[in-house]
C-alpha cells in the first residue's frame, strides 16, 4: 500500500503536495518523493528514504504549480532513495500504488530494447513503457498511458507528469483507490480523500479501468478504450479526523474493511492458475529442498501465533510435513530439537517482536533455514531471516491485528499449496479449484461486511457478559483462539478459546446462562462433532452464537444466534470466520465504550522481552 498525489493549478505545488502526502502517511512511510515542473517548465525530482518530513527537509526553495508525489510502503525492493517514487524515463515521471505482476517479463523485454533500469521496483517498467509509447506517438500522453496499460497485468493507481505536457497530468486506476479533487483553477489527484480535504471537498471517485486527464480548469474521465465517461461530483461532509479513517470511527474498523483489498494484494502475482501452482519469488527454496523437508517449525506470538496454528493444519493436512508451532517466548528457552532439514517459519506482522526475533536467532544457530512472513519491508526480521515473504497488507494502525492476520493466513495457504504441489500431494486440478475459491474470498468478505449490523446486534445483546467462550474444531480451532484474543484485547471481557472437544475436560464447569459461547461451525468433516459440542453447551443453559455456512438450515434449531458466512471450501473457511470474530470483538468494545485502537497496557510492536 502506498499513497499517490498530484496537483495542477495556480497554488504552490510543493507545499500542497507535501501537505497532501502527510495525510496519506497511514498508507506507508518508508520513503517518499516529488516530481515537479519548475517555473521554466523543467522537471525537478526529489526523493528521500524515511518519512515525509525527511523529504521536506531536503527540498530547495522552488516555485512550481504542477507536480506529483508519492509515499511508499515497499513491496518490491527495499526502502531506499533509488526505489522511492517518482520513477523517471525520458520526460516521463510516474508515481504508482499497486503491483505490476508481469514486471519481470516486461523488464526483460524493455532491457532488450535498450531501456536502463536503476531501481528494484515493479513501477519502473511503467515509466519506461509510457516513455516508449510516447516516443512512438509524441504529443499524446493519455494515449501513451493507455498503450502501456494494455500490456501490464496487476493493480494500479498511478499519476504521470511530463515536461512535454506542462498543462496536464494523466492518471489511471485498477484495483487501487484513486480520487480527483476539484478546485477553482486547480485540480488534485490522490489515493484518498484526506489528502485533498484541506483544499476542496468536491470529489470524483475514479472507478476501475478508468483514465483521467487532469488540467487546471478541466477533468476528463475515459475508459481504457478512450471513450469519455460522465462522472458524478460528490461533496464530502467529513472533517479531517474522520477522513483519515476514511469516515470510519476507528482504524480497527477501517482495517477490517480493508481486508477485501489486502487479500488481493497478498495474492497478486503469486497465483499460476494455468500451471495449477503458486509462485513466490522470495521463497529461497527450490523444489529439491522442499521435497527434503522433514519438519516445519513455526515461531510467532499473539495473533501471529494463531496464524501459525492454521499453518500447522495446512502443512500437515495438505503436504504431510510434520509441523510444530511455538510461541517465541517459550521456544527461545526450550532447548529445541532441530536439524538442518527443519524449515523454521517466523510469523510477525511488525517484524520487530523481540521474542520471535530471539527464537529465530536460536533456530538459525542449529543450521536451519529461516523463512520470515512479515508485513514490514526492511524490518529486523526481514533482514535477519534467510528469506522473507511479505504479506503486503499495508500499514496497520490499530493495535489489534486484523488485516495483517488475514494476509498471514493467505501467505500460509499459498505456501501450503506450493509445497503440496511440489511434494505431489495435490494435483493441478485441485490446486486450480482452490485458487479459484481463493479468488472469491474478497467478495465473500465483502458480503460479511455488508451484513455487519447483524453482528453488531449480537455484540450488543451479550456485551454485559463477564466471560465468553469461543470454540472451534480442526482448522477453525485457531480462529476460536483468535476470537477470544481479539475480544479480551479490546473489550476487556475475559474470553477463552477452546478446541470444542476439550470443553468436557474442564471448562464445561464454568458454563452457565451468563456465559455466551461462540461456536465456529462451517460444514466439514468435524461438523457433526461440533453440533454435539453445541448440545453439551446448551444443556448448561449457555447462549450459543454459531458462525455457520449460509446454506446450513440445521444449526439454527440448536443455537440462539446464527451469523452466516458465504459457502467456500472448508479449508478456506478461517478467512471468513475470522472476519466475524473481529467484528464481534469490535462491536462489543464499541458498546462498552473501550479505547479500541489503543487498548490499555498494549503496544502495536512489542520490542521488549
The least CB distance from residue 489 to ligand AGP, in Å, is 5
Cα 98 from Cα 1, distance rounded (Å): 7
Please, which residue, 197 or 359, has the CB nearer to ligand AGP?
359
CA dihedral 214, 56, 245, 381 (to 10 degrees): 120
CB contact set of 164 (below 8 Å; sequence gap of 6+): 91, 134, 138, 139, 141
Stretch 242-301 residues interacting with ligand AGP (CB under 6 A): 301
The least CB distance from residue 546 to ligand AGP, in Å, is 24
The least CB distance from residue 438 to ligand AGP, in Å, is 22
Phi, psi of 567 (to 5 degrees): -75, 130
User: Is 83 a binder of ligand AGP (CB under 6 A)?
Assistant: no
User: Is residue 597 a contact partner of residue 502, using CB atoms and an 8 Å limit?
Assistant: no
Of the residues 2, 65, 93, 301, which is catalytic?
2
Cα 308 from Cα 65, distance rounded (Å): 51
Instruction: Provide DSSP, 493-559.
Output: -EEEEEEGGGGGGTGGGG--TT--EEEE--SSTTHHHHHHHHHHHHTTT--EEEEEETT--SGGGT-
Q: How many residues bind ligand AGP (CB under 6 A)?
A: 15
Please, which residue, 319 or 350, has the CB nearer to ligand AGP?
350
CB contact set of 46 (below 8 Å; sequence gap of 6+): 33, 34, 36, 55, 58, 59
Q: Which three cell numbers stand for residue 183?
A: 478546485
3-state secondary structure of 574: helix
Please, which residue, 186 or 255, has the CB nearer to ligand AGP?
255
User: Is residue 328 a contact partner of residue 376, using CB atoms and an 8 Å limit?
Assistant: no
Cα 317 from Cα 476, distance rounded (Å): 13
- Contact pick of 210, 258, 489, 549 for ligand AGP (by CB under 6 A): 489
User: Is 370 a binder of ligand AGP (CB under 6 A)?
Assistant: no
> Cell numbers 461532509 label which residue?
237
CB contact set of 426 (below 8 Å; sequence gap of 6+): 318, 417, 420
The least CB distance from residue 215 to ligand AGP, in Å, is 45
Cβ-closest position to ligand AGP: 302
Please, which residue, 56 or 255, has the CB nearer to ligand AGP?
255
- Contact pick of 314, 399, 459, 521 for ligand AGP (by CB under 6 A): 399
- Contact pick of 172, 401, 520, 546 for ligand AGP (by CB under 6 A): 401
Stretch that binds ligand AGP, among 12-20, 336-344, 398-406, 519-527 (CB under 6 A): 398-406
The least CB distance from residue 399 to ligand AGP, in Å, is 5
CB contact set of 374 (below 8 Å; sequence gap of 6+): 346, 347, 348, 349, 350, 351, 381, 382, 388, 389, 390, 391
Q: Which residues pair with 374 in a beta bridge?
A: 348, 390
Please, which residue, 358 or 570, has the CB nearer to ligand AGP?
358
Stretch that binds ligand AGP, among 115-123, 394-402, 416-424, 494-502 (CB under 6 A): 394-402
Q: Which three cell numbers stand for residue 590?
A: 464499541
Pattern 300-319, binding to ligand AGP, x per CB under 6 A? Answer: -xxxx---------------
Please, which residue, 387 or 568, has the CB nearer to ligand AGP?
387
User: Is residue 543 a contact partner of residue 462, using CB atoms and an 8 Å limit?
Assistant: yes
Please, which residue, 96 or 403, has the CB nearer to ligand AGP?
403
604 is catalytic: yes
Stretch 336-355 residues interacting with ligand AGP (CB under 6 A): 348-350, 353
Q: Which residues pair with 540 in a beta bridge?
A: none
The rounded Cα 368 to chain-centroid distance in angstroms is 29
- Contact pick of 400, 546, 576, 585 for ligand AGP (by CB under 6 A): 400
Stretch that binds ligand AGP, among 253-261, 285-293, 399-407, 532-540 (CB under 6 A): 399-407
Pattern 94-123, binding to ligand AGP, x per CB under 6 A? Answer: ------------------------------
CB atoms within 10 A of CB 454: 16
Please, which residue, 80 or 327, has the CB nearer to ligand AGP?
327
User: Is 606 a binder of ligand AGP (CB under 6 A)?
Assistant: yes
Q: Would you tell me which residues interact with ligand AGP (CB under 6 A)?
A: 301-304, 348-350, 353, 356, 399-401, 489, 605-606
Q: Annotated active-site positions, please? A: 2, 604
Amino acid at each position: 500500500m502506498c499513497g499517490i498525489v498530484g496537483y495542477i493549478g495556480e497554488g504552490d505545488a510543493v507545499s500542497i503536495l507535501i501537505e497532501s502526502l502527510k495525510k496519506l502517511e497511514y498508507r506507508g512511510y518508508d520513503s517518499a518523493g516529488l516530481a515537479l515542473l519548475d517555473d521554466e517548465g523543467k522537471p525537478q525530482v526529489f526523493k528521500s528514504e524515511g518519512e515525509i518530513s525527511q523529504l521536506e527537509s531536503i527540498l530547495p526553495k522552488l516555485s512550481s504549480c504542477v507536480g506529483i508525489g508519492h509515499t511508499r510502503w515497499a513491496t518490491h525492493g527495499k526502502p531506499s532513495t533509488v526505489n522511492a517514487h517518482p520513477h523517471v524515463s525520458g520526460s516521463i515521471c510516474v508515481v504508482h500504488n499497486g503491483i505490476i505482476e508481469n514486471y519481470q517479463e516486461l523488464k526483460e523485454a524493455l532491457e532488450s530494447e535498450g531501456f536502463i533500469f536503476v531501481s528494484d521496483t515493479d513501477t519502473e517498467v511503467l515509466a519506461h513503457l509510457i516513455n516508449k509509447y510516447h516516443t512512438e506517438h509524441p504529443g499524446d500522453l493519455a494515449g501513451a498511458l493507455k498503450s502501456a496499460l494494455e500490456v501490464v497485468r496487476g493493480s494500479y493507481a498511478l499519476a504521470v507528469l511530463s515536461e512535454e505536457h506542462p498543462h496536464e497530468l494523466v492518471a489511471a486506476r485498477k484495483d487501487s483507490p484513486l480520487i480527483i479533487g476539484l478546485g477553482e483553477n486547480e485540480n488534485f489527484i490522490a489515493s484518498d480523500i484526506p489528502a485533498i480535504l484541506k483544499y476542496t471537498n468536491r470529489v470524483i471517485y475514479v472507478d476501475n479501468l478508468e483514465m483521467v486527464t487532469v488540467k487546471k480548469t478541466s477533468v476528463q474521465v475515459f475508459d481504457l478504450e478512450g471513450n469519455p465517461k460522465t462522472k458524478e461530483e460528490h461533496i464530502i461532509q467529513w472533517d479531517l479526523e474522520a477522513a483519515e479513517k476514511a469516515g470510519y470511527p476507528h482504524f480497527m474498523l477501517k482495517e477490517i474493511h480493508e481486508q477485501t483489498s489486502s487479500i488481493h494484494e497478498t495474492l497478486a502475482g503469486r497465483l499460476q492458475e494455468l500451471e495449477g501452482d503458486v509462485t513466490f519469488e522470495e521463497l529461497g527454496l527450490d523444489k529439491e529442498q522442499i521435497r527434503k523437508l522433514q519438519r516445519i517449525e513455526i515461531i510467532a506470538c499473539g495473533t501471529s501465533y494463531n496464524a501459525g496454528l492454521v499453518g500447522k493444519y495446512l502443512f500437515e493436512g495438505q503436504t504431510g510435513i510434520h509441523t510444530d508451532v511455538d510461541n517465541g517466548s517459550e521456544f527461545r528457552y526450550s532447548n529445541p530439537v532441530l536439524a538442518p532439514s527443519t524449515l523454521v517459519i517466523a510469523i510477525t506482522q511488525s517484524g520487530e517482536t523481540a521474542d520471535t526475533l530471539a527464537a529465530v536467532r536460536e533456530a538459525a544457530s542449529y543450521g536451519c533455514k529461516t523463512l520470515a512472513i512479515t508485513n514490514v519491508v526492511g524490518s529486523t526480521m526481514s533482514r535477519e531471516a534467510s528469506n522473507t515473504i511479505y504479506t503486503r497488507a499495508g500499514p496497520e494502525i490499530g493495535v489489534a491485528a486484523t488485516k495483517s492476520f488475514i494476509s498471514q493466513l493467505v501467505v500460509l495457504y499459498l505456501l501450503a499449496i506450493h509445497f503440496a504441489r511440489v511434494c505431489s500431494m495435490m494435483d493441478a486440478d485441485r490446486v486450480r479449484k482452490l485458487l479459484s475459491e481463493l479468488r472469491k474470498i474478497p467478495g465473500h468478505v465483502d458480503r460479511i461486511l455488508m451484513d455487519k449490523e447483524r453482528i453488531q446486534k449480537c455484540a450488543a445483546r451479550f456485551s454485559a457478559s463477564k466471560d465468553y467462550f469461543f470454540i472451534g474444531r480442526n482448522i477453525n480451532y485457531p480462529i476460536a483462539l483468535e476470537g477470544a484474543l481479539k475480544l479480551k484485547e479490546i473489550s476487556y471481557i475475559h474470553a477463552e478459546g477452546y478446541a470444542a472437544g476439550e470443553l468436557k475436560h474442564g471448562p464445561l464447569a464454568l458454563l452457565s446462562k451468563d456465559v455466551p459461547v461462540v461456536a465456529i461451525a462451517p460444514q466439514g468433516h468435524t461438523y457433526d462433532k461440533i453440533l454435539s459440542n453445541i448440545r453439551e453447551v446448551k444443556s448448561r443453559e449457555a447462549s450459543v452464537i454459531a458462525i455457520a455456512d449460509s446454506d446450513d438450515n440445521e444449526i439454527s434449531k440448536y443455537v440462539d444466534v446464527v451469523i452466516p458466512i458465504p459457502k467456500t471450501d472448508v479449508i478456506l473457511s478461517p478467512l471468513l470466520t475470522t472476519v466475524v470474530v473481529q467484528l464481534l470483538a469490535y462491536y462489543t468494545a464499541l458498546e462498552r465504550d473501550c479505547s479500541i485502537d489503543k487498548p490499555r497496557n498494549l503496544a502495536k510492536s512489542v520490542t521488549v522481552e
